[in-house]
Structures are given as structure tokens and as C-alpha cells.
Amino acid sequence: MAAATAPGDGGGEPRGTAGVVLVVPREVEGQPFDVGPCYTQLQYIGEDADMVSSAYDHVRKTRVAIKKISPFEHQTYCQPTLRETQILLRFRHENVIGIRDILRAPTLEAMRDVYIVQDLMDTDLYKLLKSQQLSNDHICFFLYQILRGLKYIHSANICDFGLARIADPEHDHTGFLTEYVATRWYRAPEIMLNSKGYTKSIDVWSVGCILAEMLSNRPIFLGKHYLDQLNHILGILGSPSQEDLNCSLPSKTKVAWAKLFPKSDSKALDLLDQMLTFNPNKRITVEEALTHPYLEQYYDPTDEPVAEEPLPARGTRGPLTRTDTPILLDLVLLLPAPSLQIVRK
């Protein structure tokens, strides 16, 4: 069988004439990273539960980000990624990152790893806030884009996208909540109080936390654990009323937003106040936030697309058991990716 080399890779990995990829094992940080000949020049980016590497895409002539998940080795950690992948394959919105490719073995039996290929971003908001103070115009523009993307996600019946939950206030989610350290600072108080029914308002709270961070270049609620997180929230918002929280708490006075952010736009602070409202039933919705005067220069209801149809609850509700992982993989892999590639091992 004659073999061709990957374009631009200097005589790298061979591809069979029948189109079957003959994988030459490669490594990133000492771990196998078998992504076939179309992706070369691998560079380690980082990892939490999943390793992420950048690579050069020889088809699109650009660099991409590739996330490696090992569904049968680290089931607990990879399940959120699989849920996210299942959802992202259905999404088509310029403010929601999509999936370019999925690389995998052709069968579950032969599968060890799954590689998710996405656009490589030049930077992220965290790095941006570490390097500079954003102008009010930039904050307004970034906030509008975040809310625009969130409106689309909510229209697909998804909330708390980091854990990929169906937005159903009647469903008991308490058994599915995990202590995610990296996102605790952005979690709504009702989650930490073990509310059984989550609504889309929890995401509005998170966006409010992001807005506050853009205004001051630092997270607003820096809790070390959930109890400490609540104390930070109450220290700024003050104690909720009996209507907001049916329990006894030490009395605290609300801090004026203008005192915390003295140089910020008053309209931005008004929107922040409506986002960071303790009672989720009183919290502003995404649709209402988009119409707020602070965002009026960008607001265009004709350019805020929503999902064609809500996502079904199947495969995204409740905790996964060990036997559910192959089922979820089937759900993920049966969905058409923009350009599905198969790595044969």
C-alpha cells in the first residue's frame, strides 16, 4: 500500500490509499496524543480534568485547540465534557464556541481516547483582565456578546452550561452537584443552599459576577468554600428578607455598588444590581438584561438568534452511572460533527 505524508509535515505520518489513517503515536507532556496526520505541531496548553493541546490544522490552514478525554479511564471527570460535547454539536451561534471535528476510533470496543477539536482563541477574559483595565465601551460590548450567546443557550433549554443541566425547576438536581472549585465564585446562592429546582436565573447571576469582575479586574465573591462563599455574598448584598430566604441569618447591611465601583457607569451598576439579586425569582432574565439601557447601543432583537428547538432531556439530566458512559458516547458520536474524522488505532 502506497503511503502519502501529511501536508507540510516534512514526511510525517502516513495515510493509506484507502483513506485509512495509519497513526504514528505522538505525545504531549509524556501522554499519547494520537490525532492523525491532519493535525501537527502539537503544543501543550494546559489541563484540568482533560488535557488540551494546540495543533496546526492542515485542512483549514490554521491552529486549533484539541481536548483529549479518556471516557473509560476517568469517567467522573470526562462526563461533563461528554455532556458539553453532545450539546455543542447541536449549537450554531457565533457567540458560542463550536466543535470542528471529533477524532476517535470507529467502534466503542477499539476506543481509548476521544479528541475534540475546537477553534483556538487568541486569549480569554481572564488573561485580558490580568493585563489591563477594560474601558466602559469594552465592558458593554463584551457583556452584550455574553448575554447574546446565553440567550441562545437558554432557548435550547440548557442552563448551568458548565455542568450541562436541563433547565427544569421541577427536577431535583441535588444529587448531581459537584464541588467545582474553579466555578464556585460564580455560582448563584440558591445552588449553595441546595435548592432542588434550578432555573435559568442561575446563569444570570454568573454573568453578573463576570460584569463585576470586568468593572474591578478581580472576582467579586472570593469564597474559599461554599459557606465562605455565602458569607462573601451576604457581606455585599446584605441579608435576604424572609421572603428571599426562609431562615435566620445574622443581619448585614447591603453595600452600595457605587462604593465598590466608584468609577463605573451608573447604568452598568444598575444592571449589575438586577443580576446579583439574591432571590432568583426577582433576578433579571437574559431577555430583560439585553434590553437594559446600558446595552442599548448594541441591542438588536433581529440579530439575536435562538435555537431551532430545545434540546431533549435525554442524556443531560441527572447523574451518570458507570454503565451510562457508553450510552452517552453513542449519543455524542451519532451526532454529525461539521467534519467528523476517524482515527483508527
Q: pTM of the prediction?
A: 0.68
Position 109 scores a pLDDT of 67
Cell 447541536 belongs to residue: 90
Residue type, 195: S
pLDDT of residue 75: 60
Q: Give pLDDT, residue 322.
A: 47
Q: What integer pLDDT is reported at residue 76 of this predicted model?
A: 62
Pick out the chain residues at pLDDT < 50: 1-24, 163-182, 247-249, 314-322, 331, 335-340, 342-345
Which residues are CB-neighbours of 167 under 8 A, at least 6 positions away? Answer: 154, 157, 158, 159, 198, 199, 200
pLDDT at position 244: 65
The pLDDT value given to residue 306 = 87
Q: What own/partner pairs with CB < 8 Å and gap ≥ 24 does 241-248 have? A: 243/279, 244/278, 244/279, 244/282, 245/193, 245/278, 245/279
At residue 74, the pLDDT reads 62
The residue type at 181: V
